[in-house]
Structure 1
Amino acid sequence: MTKIVVIGAVAAGTTAATKARRNDPEAEITIYDRDIDISYAICGIPYAVGHEVANFDQLTPRDPQWFKQNYQIDLKTRHEILAIDSNKQTLQVKALDTGAVFTDHYDLLLLATGARYGIPTAFKDIDADNLFHVRNVQSGRELASYLALHSIKTAAVVGAGYVGLEMTEQLTKLGIQVQIFQRSAHILGNFDGDMAEIAETYARQKGISLALAETVTKTQVQNGHIIGLDTNQGQHYQPDIVILAAGVKPNTRLAESIGVKLGTTGAIAVNDRFQTNLPNVYAVGDVAESFSVIDGRPLWKPLATTANKMGRIAGDAMTGGSLRHRGILGTSILRFFDLTIAQTGYTEKEAQAAGYDFLVLKDKKTNVPDYMPKSQTMTLKTLADKKTHRILGAQIIGGAGVDKRIDVLATAMTFKAKAEDLFHLDLAYSPAFDTTKDAVLYTGMILTDQLASETKGV
């Protein structure tokens, strides 16, 4: 009987374990996690804080008993892995509630240790009742409880990626004035600056203050409470609460302790079956590296969709299946009030770093004809390789219909579509849903013409 041990019980770890069970009814499967909540919808936390999701219990639909009853998986929460001996294939485990330490063994080990959350220098070692991270369900509950018990007028959000903007949206809807601090020149670091500027203008229209290229250098704390923030721009702020959303890094501590090799992105290097350089050791989720569908370059994009794919493939691989990872584009999407923000593939900066000579098309299109009452405008930015004409990336910001177009483009790119292929896609049309020349078809037409001009030297 094979003994499979999984470290980490969120998306990737639990998906791997359940797939392994379906493949092998006889395997002994144990999952360890140091958290209380498991298999939770981390992306829903901001919406539960803002009461758009009725309560946090909806984000945790499964518990250890569910996994035991449905899959015969022994899932142990509040258990921390202190050390791993990869030669003996043993683990030293601590039960956090009792302090007891014991040894377990494995035949196959899966590292699904996720990501660790960034803490800016000014907030390191700060213990304050009004300082919050958005990293798990419990942290969301604590923030929601604090908001319910105190009269909060102002909030500082440190970091302007997806989580930072989602929290900003929800806090604003609760009537709280939000000040965003972003160390770079623009919000949305996974977008090009010209596209991020669209979202910045919109944010300001919503009454949100943006401190761009501004970092907190000093945190003033009094009686366990943050009373002020000083920045590198000589500014002083006095928010009622501070929320850190300053990005994440792969949590590779355990992996490195046993000699697991890291890739160029800083995440664990794996093959297309999520095997590491060590025998019988696999890695998935936010701790593991992926690669680009476009050209095979290593990528680290910590996304729930990617984590679930990785988990399924690893669970299959550990139990004799044939699934293999095909790479990712890093497709992502954000709702920011009435604005939808989405991207897939490479940005200009990433395409330049990869050495591509590419053409950029930026245009505005509506989701439905102008004569329809719900017509809304979206801005599309698309990159195409001048040599091969393959679509390298796309960014779209606008109202209704952005999600449809980004998914069409991501699908086309996955199957190596060229610019001229986009026009030939047979997309559904009705004035209630689309224009006769859909934004994707139009993009293909114009890119094809421009690429032809480039070839002719016009």
Structure 2
Amino acid sequence: MENKQTIVVIGGVAAGASAAAKARREDERATILVYEKGKYVSFANCGLPYYVGNEIMQERALLLHTPDSLKTRFNLDVFVEHEVLEIKPEEHQVVVKNLQAGETFTQSYDKVILATGTKPIVPNIDGIHSRNVHLLRTVPDAVQIKQQIEAGNVKKAVVVGGGFIGLEAVENLHRQGVSVTLIEKADQVMTPFDREMVVDLEDMLQKLRVEVILNNGITKFVAQGDRAEAVQLEDGTVIHADMFLLSIGVRPDVTLAEKAGIELGATRAIAVNGRMETSIPDIYAAGDAVEIHHRVSGKSAWIPLAGPANKQGRVAGANAVGRSMEFKGAYGTSIVRVGNVVAAKTGLSEKECIREGMDYRVTYNYHGNHAAYYPGSEGMMIKLIAEQQTGRILGAQIVGGAGVDKRIDVLATAIYGHMTVEDLEHLDLAYAPPFGAAKDPIIMAGMTHANLYRAEGNAYTPAQVAEQMEKKDIQIVDVRNEDEWAVGMIPGAIGIPLPMLRARLNELDPAKETVVYCRSGQRSYFASRILMQNGFQNLKNLMGGYLGWTLFQKSLKES
């Protein structure tokens, strides 16, 4: 009879719980031990802000599994409040401390799966350990914050950090009637996104009466006893509040791995192969502590997101018991909501393309989430980035309302399949008036980009138009209707509505470099085809139209 294996999983939540459950599904006879340092082995950490804001009403809804439920369903032996202090690879042993009893013991293993996750960035500054300076990483964190709010002790809060958790915390504190100030050291919220694609998020924060402070960090907390009364910023500003929430960021927790001699990668996360094997035999790693293959750039990356962590855990669990699975990488598909504005990203941003030295082209498209004639259509701006020479999709960002989630998932799938912008033109997507359009926003984005790829037209981004305007005298033509000009025009633009363009060609100089624009880019594309066939050779269409220009101008003012 085959010898029974002992699998030790270090850490729970996404990767650890997934690894243990998969190992059990593949090997009914193995002894599987899960050691979790915290009080909860499997909880919905992504749901914590929504519990604070009462969108998730019950604390128990956050608890995906308990030690008892994991024992009942998967026959896993789960030990919470047990910290693994050391891995001894040569002896195939781990040293574990029972945090409740204060006792330390040694456990032998055949395979280990490291799922140690991340640790928060907490700067070493005065007052940061005050009792009303919080993190939002665990269920007890969320419960404590919510209890203080519901007790009426929090009228004003300061959130430090404008990433995913920071923005979600801001929104949900606002839902609870708390006045919020958001502090972000960078020149924008959501730094993985390109600057112009977060303007609507920042505008929504303003509409929610959230004070947003950019380009400013914190230097200390002003405390009275064990309670912080204010935070001081780098420019000397002092902001008083009842509660402070830190969401500055996280780092991979590699303390245990380093102590065991496991190699780290270029990102200082644990280096693994596609089987989630580390540099030491019989030790696997998964989740937010590991470095992975970025499927677009082809380089190593650290992407601490729940989706990849769950998949990595599944692969590690299967391979630890002798099956064969491979994690093929990720590219950071993500989404966030503030008020009724949704922003999503997949693959590389434009600034990441620049950093990686990639040859790329950008297009902007603005379309409704469903047919315009059906009531309730909500617009979305799609920024699509593709390789210049091949048309391969490198990344996308979308900002809008309803339907953003659906479109970013389509584009994430396209990236995984190594599709090109021409492939997007031919997608067969579901259409009925309440759900989409005959030419879905994704298909339209593909058509726009494919036209440029095939040299069927030429285009400028808003940034390129601004650059050309500074360098020389260019001819800018606004082909919107006259009533639309009241909301604003690009400085120096000549207004000729599209229906009148053919009759008024004599008002334009075909020898001049000419840029045409409309509200979102479609009418100006039609105008560019008319002009091109009437002798205008040096011709560009403004991608994203006046909406894209407005986003670009706002991004300059707010940075």
TM-score (norm 2): 0.80
User: Separation in 2 of the partners of 1:391 and 1:204?
Assistant: 33
1:35 to 38, 45, 48: 38
Contact 1:154 1:241 in 2 (8 A): yes
The within-5 A match list for 1:135-284 is 135-284=137-286
SS in structure 2 of the partner of residue 286 of structure 1: coil
1:11 to 10, 14, 35: 14
Q: Which residue number corresponds to residue 348 of structure 2?
A: 346
Residue type of the partner of 2:143? Answer: R
Q: CA deviation at 1:127?
A: 2.6
SS in structure 1 of the partner of residue 177 of structure 2: coil
User: Separation in 2 of the partners of 1:405 and 1:294?
Assistant: 19
Residue type of the partner of 2:36? Answer: D
1:88 to 88, 91, 105: 91
Relative to 1, partners in 2 of residues 1:372 and 1:328: Cα closer, same or farther, differing over 3 Å? same
Matched, 1:77 2:80: yes
Q: CA deviation at 1:452?
A: 2.1
Contact 2:270 2:291 in 1 (8 A): yes
User: Separation in 2 of the partners of 1:210 and 1:442?
Assistant: 34
Q: Which residue number corresponds to residue 120 of structure 1?
A: 123
User: Separation in 1 of the partners of 2:64 and 2:234?
Assistant: 44
2:26 to 23, 33, 41: 23
Contact 1:121 1:217 in 2 (8 A): no
Residue type of the partner of 1:211? Answer: I
Residue type of the partner of 1:314? Answer: A
Per-residue CA deviation, residues 281-334 of structure 1 (Å, 9 max, x unaligned), is 100000011112224211211111111100111111112222111111210111
Relative to 1, partners in 2 of residues 1:88 and 1:455: Cα closer, same or farther, differing over 3 Å? farther
Residue type of the partner of 1:253? Answer: T
The within-5 A match list for 1:299-310 is 299-310=301-312
Per-residue CA deviation, residues 236-266 of structure 1 (Å, 9 max, x unaligned), is 1101110001111100000001111111112
Q: CA deviation at 1:454?
A: 9.0
User: Separation in 1 of the partners of 2:297 and 2:173?
Assistant: 40
Superposition CA RMSD, Å: 1.5
User: Separation in 1 of the partners of 2:442 and 2:449?
Assistant: 11
User: Separation in 2 of the partners of 1:379 and 1:115?
Assistant: 33
User: Separation in 2 of the partners of 1:113 and 1:55?
Assistant: 27
Range moving further from structure 2, 150-159 or 252-261: 150-159
Q: CA deviation at 1:198?
A: 2.2
Q: CA deviation at 1:79?
A: 0.5
SS in structure 2 of the partner of residue 219 of structure 1: strand
Contact 1:229 1:236 in 2 (8 A): yes
Q: Which residue number corresponds to residue 521 of structure 2?
A: none
SS in structure 2 of the partner of residue 285 of structure 1: coil
SS in structure 1 of the partner of residue 328 of structure 2: coil
Contact 1:112 1:287 in 2 (8 A): yes
Q: Which residue number corresponds to residue 53 of structure 1?
A: 56
User: Separation in 2 of the partners of 1:311 and 1:116?
Assistant: 18
Matched, 1:285 2:292: no
SS in structure 2 of the partner of residue 407 of structure 1: helix
Range moving further from structure 2, 287-296 or 215-224: 287-296
Q: CA deviation at 1:371?
A: 2.1
The structure showing larger relative contact order (alpha-carbon pairs under 8 Å, at least 6 residues apart) is 1
Residue type of the partner of 2:362? Answer: V
Q: Number of paired residues?
A: 457
Contact 2:70 2:78 in 1 (8 A): yes
Q: CA deviation at 1:129?
A: 2.2
SS in structure 1 of the partner of residue 49 of structure 2: helix
Larger Rg over CA atoms: 2
User: Separation in 2 of the partners of 1:90 and 1:384?
Assistant: 49
SS in structure 2 of the partner of residue 179 of structure 1: strand
Residue type of the partner of 1:428? Answer: A
Matched, 1:399 2:401: yes
1:110 to 106, 109, 113: 113
Range moving further from structure 2, 371-380 or 161-170: 371-380
Range moving further from structure 2, 256-265 or 198-207: 198-207
User: Separation in 2 of the partners of 1:382 and 1:262?
Assistant: 33
Q: Which residue number corresponds to residue 387 of structure 1?
A: 389
Q: Which residue number corresponds to residue 533 of structure 2?
A: none
Residue type of the partner of 1:302? Answer: P
Residue type of the partner of 1:246? Answer: I
Q: Which residue number corresponds to residue 417 of structure 1?
A: 419
User: Separation in 2 of the partners of 1:403 and 1:61?
Assistant: 24
| Structure 1: tracts of 5 or more residues without a match | none
Residue type of the partner of 2:298? Answer: G
Contact 2:219 2:232 in 1 (8 A): yes
Contact 1:296 1:327 in 2 (8 A): no
User: Separation in 2 of the partners of 1:251 and 1:36?
Assistant: 18
Contact 2:451 2:457 in 1 (8 A): no
Contact 1:118 1:247 in 2 (8 A): yes
Residue type of the partner of 2:315? Answer: I
The within-5 A match list for 1:301-340 is 301-340=303-342
Q: Which residue number corresponds to residue 444 of structure 2?
A: 442
1:68 to 61, 67, 71: 71
Residue type of the partner of 2:89? Answer: S
SS in structure 1 of the partner of residue 42 of structure 2: coil
SS in structure 2 of the partner of residue 428 of structure 1: coil
Q: Which runs of 4+ in 1 moved over 4 A?
A: 454-458
